[in-house]
Amino acid sequence: MNISFTHPFYLLFLFGIPLLILFHFFGLKNLKGRSLKFANFEAIARVKGIDLYSKNILLLIFNILFIVLLVSALSGLTIHREIEASSFSFIIAIDSSESMSATDILPNRLEAAKETAITFVDSLAFESYVAILSFSGDSKIEQVLTNNKQEIKYAIENIEISDIKGTDIFEAISNSVGLLNKEKNKAIILLSDGQINVGDINEAIDYAKFNDVLIHTISIGSVEGGETIYGFSKLDEDSLKSLAYNTNGKYFNANNKEELMKSFSELSGSTRKIGSIDLSPYLIIIIIILFIIKQFLMSINKLIW
């Protein structure tokens, strides 16, 4: 762990502390000298509030703390420390077309995908950024990039089978790339049964490669297929394999929840990186609290500062 300052120029004001100490004791000495002219010094001292080793020292300590904290806040004191965080920002793109209502994975493909996606989000490090997108004949951004896990999980939970026919993989990839535009390390996790019937798979691959985006694909369903709300649907792996292999991503076959969970766990690897915490707001709060404490002590002890 180390520290840095956003505006180190303000640290020069710390040189005012020795002057504060000098003026404090110089003024105290003069006050005590004048008080010695009185016959009953101890009585006058109580009236004047002269108590070199308690009250006035306490005042000096408070004032030094105020200066140190205020200068630290103005200079932008920041702590840097290593934290666990995913090296990638993820888009979780979930197929919501009618074929995802197939029941070869219980209760159906979509619900199984949502359940394991939520578990994946829970497994990610605190500072991992994730966005959620659903797609069928078009695509819908359910949640923009955030590290708020509650918002991410809420977005996943609310994905439903779409009324729009078809599965447009190119639009899903295009919108996902747009969400990742400003991110350094970009990855899309695409969950689908591979029933792609809108858009060109090669265009989607070229677009992802041009934008330096990895696409990990997880096939949802079985080769044997399952009943859907419109008929029978079989898994089509070829397009999903092509998307992954041609963008340097990984392909996973998941024909049950256990395989789905295993696929996600392999993608949730974490790395260590430097995280920064700006302490300025906290220092301001401490200054306010100390000021209130100082005023309280002055009130209850009737000190003459």
Q: Kindly report the number of other CB atoms within 10 A of residue 155's CB atom.
A: 23
pLDDT tens by residue, 53-99: 455 677 778 888 988 999 988 988 888 765 544 567 899 999 998 88
Q: Are residue 156 and residue 192 in the same domain, yes or no?
A: yes
* Radius of gyration, CA atoms only, the chain: 32
Domain extent for 228: 87-269
Q: Are residue 66 and residue 122 in the same domain, yes or no?
A: no
Strand order through the sheet with 271-278: 2-5, 77-85, 271-278
What pLDDT shows up at residue 39?
Answer: 47
What pLDDT shows up at residue 188?
Answer: 92
pLDDT tens by residue, 171-203: 899 999 999 988 878 889 999 887 676 667 888
What pLDDT shows up at residue 271?
Answer: 45
How confident is residue 293, by pLDDT bands cut at 50, 70 and 90?
A: confident
| pLDDT over 80 at 297, yes or no | no
22-26, 245-249, 279-283: segment of lowest average pLDDT: 22-26
What pLDDT shows up at residue 93?
Answer: 95
CATH number at residue 109: 3.40.50.410
| pLDDT over 60 at 40, yes or no | no
Helix (H, G, I), strand (E, B) or coil at 49: coil
pLDDT tens by residue, 89-120: 899 999 998 888 888 888 899 998 999 899 88
Q: Are residue 186 and residue 281 in the same domain, yes or no?
A: no
Q: Are residue 246 and residue 281 in the same domain, yes or no?
A: no
Helices 280-301 and 55-74, axial angle in degrees (round to 10)? 160
What pLDDT shows up at residue 229?
Answer: 66
Q: Are residue 218 and residue 283 in the same domain, yes or no?
A: no
Strand order through the sheet with 89-95: 139-146, 130-135, 89-95, 186-192, 214-220, 251-254
| pLDDT over 70 at 52, yes or no | no
What pLDDT shows up at residue 94?
Answer: 95
Q: What is this structure's pTM?
A: 0.59
Q: Are residue 213 and residue 93 in the same domain, yes or no?
A: yes
The residues with which 95 forms a beta bridge, in sequence order, are 135
| pLDDT over 70 at 268, yes or no | no
Q: Are residue 94 and residue 9 in the same domain, yes or no?
A: no
Q: Are residue 58 and residue 193 in the same domain, yes or no?
A: no
What pLDDT shows up at residue 197?
Answer: 67
Across the chain, mean pLDDT equals 80
Q: Are residue 12 and residue 110 in the same domain, yes or no?
A: no
- Region 203-208: what's the mean pLDDT? 90
Total domains, the chain:
2
Under 8 Å between Cβ of 150 and 52 = no
Q: Are residue 48 and residue 96 in the same domain, yes or no?
A: no
pLDDT tens by residue, 217-244: 988 887 777 767 666 777 778 888 999 9
The gap from C-alpha 113 to its chain's centroid, in whole angstroms, comes to 24
- Region 165-169: what's the mean pLDDT? 82
What pLDDT shows up at residue 19?
Answer: 85
Q: CA torsion sign, 295 to 300 to 304 to 305? A: negative
Q: Are residue 248 and residue 127 in the same domain, yes or no?
A: yes
More confident residue, 265 or 9: 9
What pLDDT shows up at residue 1?
Answer: 64
Q: Are residue 183 and residue 215 in the same domain, yes or no?
A: yes
More confident residue, 140 or 85: 140
What pLDDT shows up at residue 122?
Answer: 87
